[in-house]
């Protein structure tokens, strides 16, 4: 009976020791986790930096919008100028065609004038 009691006590001791080891390991892991966790100050700093980044993004977006608008305005001006030049070129071509017809008509009449 003493031997059985001794064996039972030994098993119980081993179980308690195993539980203590596991408990110490868990405490150690919890301590590591606590050290690696961000504090409220850390979170506040991150939020502050995030706000700053968001404000910078908004400023950049506004600048890009202004520059994009300017590019579209310049494109419209370019299209207007191209249309104006095209219209002027058509007028010049029309005048050249009329002058060419006059020259041809005059060339046809020149031989008859030279004969007189």
* Residue carrying the six token digits 């004969």: 115
Rounded distance between C-alpha atoms, residue 73 and residue 68, angstroms: 9
Residue 46's pLDDT is 93
pTM: 0.48
Lowest mean pLDDT segment, chosen from 12-21, 32-41, 43-52, 104-113: 104-113
Rounded distance between C-alpha atoms, residue 71 and residue 77, angstroms: 10
Reported confidence tier of residue 96, pLDDT bands at 50, 70, 90: very high
Structure-token pair, residue 84 = 């104006």
The pair phi, psi for residue 38, each rounded to 5°, is -75, 145
Rounded distance between C-alpha atoms, residue 44 and residue 35, angstroms: 17
Contacts of 38 (CB under 8 A, 6+ apart): 46
């Amino acid at each position: 009976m003493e031997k059985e009691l001794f064996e039972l006590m030994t098993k119980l001791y081993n179980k308690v020791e195993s539980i203590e080891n596991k408990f110490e390991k868990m405490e150690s892991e919890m301590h590591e986790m606590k050290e690696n966790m961000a504090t409220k100050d850390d979170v506040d700093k991150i939020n502050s930096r995030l706000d700053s980044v968001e404000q910078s993004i908004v400023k950049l977006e506004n600048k890009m919008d202004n520059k994009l608008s300017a590019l579209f305005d310049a494109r419209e001006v370019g299209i207007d100028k191209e249309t104006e030049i095209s219209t002027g070129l058509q007028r010049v071509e029309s005048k050249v065609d009329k002058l060419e017809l006059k020259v041809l008509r005059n060339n046809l009449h020149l031989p008859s004038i030279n004969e007189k």
